[in-house]
Chains A and B, each alone.
Chain A
């Protein structure tokens, strides 16, 4: 607010270059310094150049339409100040106005000495910084703009919140049913491992028995082949009688019939539908018996 006042005041000063207005303290300070400063004469060329620069620089100011008020000397340093276009223009306006108030033939109106420009800038800057800037994330901006920005930010905030919630819900649905297992083995897991272990042990024992039995025999020799078959049958039936094998044992139960050792010579080679077996015979009760026996077996296991 006060910045605006300053700029307004500066504007007024510009319009009435001859009248003495503005901060008396500033005037006094400037008066003291002026005597120390050097004299600076400009040629007409230089003056035009300065005018042009000033016009460009203050191109958004309304007061700028008055040409003689818009001259600046050494605008470079002020521009480089980087605080803001407003500040520098205000500073320069201030100093401009003050210069003009001085009037005087020694110093040309609208043209600044470097040191004085710098001083003026410093004073202006100090004034601005002294005012406590609102600790707003928006910074020192015009109030109307401020509200707009505030609204926008609020909208963005709300949007983000909604999106975040939607994402969370999605994530929850995605993870539904996903359970991280515990570090230890609880009793149910131990029970299941026990079941699997028993199955494996039975299978391995059966395999060992069967394979041990036929260790010394060679399947290609017909005499031995018969012995092998016999032993297999016995081993199987004994196994079936004792224990219940895991499901894979059932595959071997299919071999309780006589048949050549090599697969393609058997009757059921590549026979996917077991019902088609013995298609030229009447019926096959052997298979039914096996299934019945197997279910009995597994029944007894679970008691």
Chain B
């Protein structure tokens, strides 16, 4: 157990500065709420891109997660549970792969509900960076936890409400009276689409840009690069030249914010700034398939296929076959199945 503890602390230790080697606070001393911490790990051997996805998710959950968590084949859920207690870890994000698609489980320790999502599509952070013209990753982007925005969930049923609650609680709360805007640099957006029942998962970085300043001057001030004045008669031409605004500037009108304090040299207080988001991090399309009452066990509270749920065993892939087969068959009595599930889970935990 001491092993784990050391690894978690190493997340924040830079080679030079040693003073950061303290335990993370368990309780936010401003809001008084418990800070949720998470483990992101995988069950079973995962192919390459999914391992990358796991790393991306870990970075997303920073700083309140174990970045260098190492798991062995013989670790099972019980081991993680045992470690989670003393370290104050509240959520598990478990990735696994079945024949059809990768699966993400979001579970609340120690006995919380488990939401099972099927990952229909995903894109890695590196893919997204490659697709962008100017990928952006400032130095301390991952120092602060992200904000979270959920949309489209309200119209849903109980299971969607539970989903919103779980996701809201994964990230620490912010107190709007004391929060510093400069510390809100990332945002996670979850959008539920009623028709397709898919949840879009996106992760953006927030950037504030002063508005009302012409582009050239802004770039000049930010980049400190001497502009090319060859073709101009006079400096006033440079300053006052009316250029065509870019398309996005028109949209910015709605997205402007007035700042209370100086965030940086260019974003000064009481001037308008525009909020610009750029996508970083993984992009996923999820489908909620199952909600279980226990931690990867227990009563099935909701199941997409209406079949009383056959618990996907976390350790082996073969049972994915079983699941698929049984989903096709008709099962009427949910109660019977949940008993079977509990039986199966007991067997598992004896591993």
Complex interface residues of chain B between 245 and 265 (CB less than 8 A to chain A): 254-260
Question: Given A205-B258, A269-B32, is A299 in contact with B99 using a C-beta cutoff of 8 Å?
Answer: no
Docked pose: A270 CA to B27 CA in angstroms: 7
Docked pose: A264 CA to B27 CA in angstroms: 10
A214 within 8 A of B: yes
Taking the closest CB of chain A, its distance from the CB of B192, in whole angstroms, is: 9
Q: Is the CB of A295 within 8 A of B173?
A: no
Docked pose: A301 CA to B191 CA in angstroms: 13
Q: Is the CB of B153 within 8 A of A298?
A: yes
Q: Who on chain A is nearest to B175 by CB?
A: A252
Instruction: Tell me whether chain B's interface is mostly helix, strand or loop, or mixed.
Output: mixed
Docked pose: A262 CA to B33 CA in angstroms: 12
Q: Is the CB of A173 within 8 A of B168?
A: no
Q: Is the CB of B101 within 8 A of A177?
A: yes
| Interfacial chain A residues near B206, Cβ < 8 Å | 200
Interface stretch (choices B117-125, B235-243, B331-339): B117-125
Taking the closest CB of chain A, its distance from the CB of B297, in whole angstroms, is: 21
Q: Is the CB of B187 within 8 A of A200?
A: yes
Q: Is the CB of A173 within 8 A of B131?
A: no
Contact of A302 among B127, B128, B151, B256 (CB under 8 A): B151
Q: Is the CB of A181 within 8 A of B283?
A: yes
| Interfacial chain B residues near A182, Cβ < 8 Å | 131
Contact of B49 among A175, A215, A249, A269 (CB under 8 A): A175
B275 within 8 A of A: yes
| Interfacial chain B residues near A44, Cβ < 8 Å | none
Complex interface residues of chain A between 162 and 187 (CB less than 8 A to chain B): 170, 173-183
Q: Is the CB of A212 within 8 A of B260?
A: yes
Contact of B122 among A179, A250, A263 (CB under 8 A): A179
Taking the closest CB of chain A, its distance from the CB of B131, in whole angstroms, is: 5
Could you mark each residue 1-45 of chain B with 1 if its beta carbon is under 8 Å from any beta carbon of chain A, else 0? Answer: 000000000000000000000000001111111100000000000
Interface size class of B (residues with CB under 8 A): 35 or more
| Interfacial chain B residues near A203, Cβ < 8 Å | 147, 176, 184
Q: Is the CB of A246 within 8 A of B149?
A: yes
Docked pose: A247 CA to B47 CA in angstroms: 34
Contact of A251 among B99, B175, B184, B200 (CB under 8 A): B175
Q: Is the CB of A250 within 8 A of B127?
A: no
Interface stretch (choices A20-28, A93-101, A188-196): A188-196
Interface size class of A (residues with CB under 8 A): 35 or more
Could you mark each residue 289-303 of chain A with 1 if its beta carbon is under 8 Å from any beta carbon of chain B, else 0? Answer: 000000100110110
Question: Given A177-B120, A251-B174, is A196 in contact with B187 using a C-beta cutoff of 8 Å?
Answer: yes
For A180, A200, A264, A295, the residue with the greatest tally of chain B CB atoms inside 10 Å of its CB is A200
A31 within 8 A of B: no
A208 within 8 A of B: yes
| Interfacial chain A residues near B49, Cβ < 8 Å | 174-175, 178
Q: Is the CB of B187 within 8 A of A266?
A: no
Question: Given A181-B123, A181-B127, is A208 in contact with B258 using a C-beta cutoff of 8 Å?
Answer: yes
Could you mark each residue 112-132 of chain A with 1 if its beta carbon is under 8 Å from any beta carbon of chain B, else 0? Answer: 000000000000000000000
Docked pose: A249 CA to B257 CA in angstroms: 17
Could you mark each residue 201-213 of chain B with 1 if its beta carbon is under 8 Å from any beta carbon of chain A, else 0? Answer: 0101010000000
Taking the closest CB of chain A, its distance from the CB of B292, in whole angstroms, is: 20
Contact of A295 among B154, B202, B275 (CB under 8 A): B154
Docked pose: A196 CA to B206 CA in angstroms: 10
Q: Is the CB of B175 within 8 A of A192?
A: no
Q: Who on chain A is nearest to B208 by CB?
A: A204
Q: Is the CB of A199 within 8 A of B189?
A: yes
Contact of A195 among B33, B155, B189 (CB under 8 A): B189
A201 within 8 A of B: yes
Question: Given A181-B123, A195-B189, is A248 in contact with B102 using a C-beta cutoff of 8 Å?
Answer: no
Q: Who on chain B is nearest to A232 by CB?
A: B177
Q: Is the CB of A196 within 8 A of B155?
A: no
A272 within 8 A of B: yes
| Interfacial chain A residues near B47, Cβ < 8 Å | 170, 173-175
Known A199-B189, A251-B175; 18 more pairs at CB < 8 Å: A174-B47, A176-B102, A178-B49, A180-B131, A181-B123, A195-B149, A196-B187, A197-B255, A197-B277, A198-B254, A199-B147, A199-B187, A204-B184, A208-B257, A208-B259, A247-B148, A270-B27, A301-B151
Q: Ordered nearest first, which 4 A-B pairs have the shortest CB separation?
A: A174-B47, A251-B173, A263-B32, A199-B149
Footprint of A on B, CB under 8 Å? 27-34, 47-50, 99-102, 119-124, 127-128, 131, 147-155, 161, 164, 167-168, 173-177, 179, 181, 184, 187, 189, 191, 200, 202, 204, 206, 254-260, 275, 277, 279, 283
Footprint of B on A, CB under 8 Å? 170, 173-183, 188-189, 192-193, 195-201, 203-208, 210-212, 214-215, 232, 246-252, 255, 263-264, 266, 268-270, 272, 295, 298-299, 301-302
